[in-house]
Amino acid sequence: MQLIAENPDDGTRFEKDAPGLNEGLLKTFASTILSERKVKQFIDNLDWSADAKLLLMRAYDATIFVGKTVFKIGRFIVCNAIKLASNFPNTTFGIVVGAILGALVASVPLIGFLLGPIVTPLAIILGAVWGALGDIKDAALRRDINREIQRFDAFRTS
């Protein structure tokens, strides 16, 4: 099937063929998406700035055309991110701790602006790996991760 997406900011278009997609698969994806009310409630309850929440809602509203069908890809991605954060709490916690440590290093006077851009991404990655190791020890979670990865394979383009 033909994938068509357009950037709402500058109008650039992306068109590619995704041989793994079909109407049945799109319906399956749409049926696994959380309700809009639940997603908006989850986003409203986040302890984030209004700007960050706005960006997340903008991503949530992103759509693509698959063949002649409009597919809410942003909604699909945000819902899966919510599910993953709920299902993999150690990984989520590790990322948050890494981001906090990176921010603390970046806030050190004089050397913070030099080390911050290097230490922050490394701390986030290390926190994610540390948390993921805790989550992956559970075989059921490992199966869930693999299943989610396979679901996104259908969006590969040729």
Are 44 and 93 part of one and the same domain? no
pLDDT at 120 over 80: yes
Are 24 and 48 part of one and the same domain? yes
Phi-psi label, residue 110: left if phi above 0, alpha if psi -120 to 50, beta otherwise: left
Are 104 and 57 part of one and the same domain? no
pLDDT digits (tens, 9 = 90+) for 57-106: 888 888 888 877 788 888 888 888 888 777 778 888 888 889 889 989 98
Are 100 and 133 part of one and the same domain? yes
Helix axes 139-153, 73-87, angle to 10 degrees: 170
List the structure tokens of 127: 């926190």
Are 80 and 97 part of one and the same domain? no
Q: What is the extent of the structural domain holding 153?
A: 88-158
Count how many domains the chain has.
2
pLDDT digits (tens, 9 = 90+) for 17-46: 888 877 777 777 777 677 888 888 888 888
User: Final residue of a domain: which of 38, 67, 86?
Assistant: 86
pLDDT band at 158 (very low <50, low <70, confident <90, very high): low
